[in-house]
Amino acid sequence: MPSYKYLLLALVFLALVLLYRWIPSRKIWAIFSLTLLLTGAAAFWSFPPPPPPKMTPEERAEIHQQQEIFSAWYDEHKKNITQLDYNWQQYHNTLESFKEGAIDIQTTYVRLTQLAKDAKRTQSAVDAHVPPLALTGINYDLVAAVRQKTLAYAEAQQQAISRTKNAADPAQLLTSSPAEQSRILEDTMIRESPPGLFLAEEISALRENLTIPPEKDE
């Protein structure tokens, strides 16, 4: 059906060329051409789009298999994201506790030191959780993009925590004022905090690719 549309366009164009030579009045030719173009455009868009090809049992089975592969990978990936969220929450809780005077700078340093180790382990877990090779084509590429974005975020988060920990080292601080120390740590946090982790576009595309429309799954 789409080929008919382009054939129609070619015929309209040919007719306009011939009419330009046969009609002596350019005004009449322009009016006739406009009418012909409008009629052709209406006919062009009147053709219904071709129905989508019916999905074969093999194609449905392939999508179901891809769904299972992705789901298994993503379940583990969500655990890493949950750990990233937990690390970041603990980071902010520690800085807030110090700012409010609930803990001293030495305790803050100890907590940040342990948290930096936890963040490094989470980063390594994200790095090790590679996309399954059984995923095909665009599905593999999308999962690889999800993993790469998450890894970049994990690296930035670990760096922010580590640098804040270094700034909280009592042996390196040049001031004994808790308020000034808190300001230094807060400045480090603001400067080093990574942008948010946004995966909605890739996950949405994956779900669309791995969903069989009801009308095709009959």
Residue 131: C-alpha distances to residues 9, 41, 42, 63, 80 (Å): 47, 47, 48, 17, 14
Within 10 Å of residue 118's Cβ, how many Cβ atoms? 16
Residue 218: pLDDT over 50: no
- Tens of pLDDT, residues 89-119: 999 999 999 999 999 999 999 999 999 999 9
The rounded distance, in Å, linking the Cα atoms of 51 and 131 is 34
pLDDT value at residue 61:
87
Mean pLDDT, the chain, whole residue set: 85
DSSP 100: T
- Tens of pLDDT, residues 50-97: 666 677 888 888 889 999 999 999 999 999 999 999 999 999 999 999
Length of the chain: 218
- Greater confidence (83 vs 21) lies with 83
3-state secondary structure 191-204: HHCCCCCCCHHHHH
Q: What is the mean pLDDT of residues 213-218?
A: 53
Residue 34: pLDDT over 70: no
> Which of 41-50, 90-99, 209-218 shows the lowest mean pLDDT across its residues?
41-50
Q: What is the mean pLDDT of residues 154-175?
A: 96
Within 10 Å of residue 44's Cβ, how many Cβ atoms? 14
Answering whether pTM is above 0.75, one says no
Return the structure tokens found at 98. 């110090």
Q: What percent of the chain has pLDDT over 70?
A: 73
Q: How confident is the model at residue 186 (pLDDT cuts 50, 70, 90)?
A: very high
pLDDT value at residue 8:
58
**Could you give the angle at which helices 137-167 and 105-128 cross, rounded to 10 degrees?**
160
pLDDT value at residue 1:
44
pLDDT value at residue 182:
96
Q: What is the mean pLDDT of residues 175-194?
A: 95
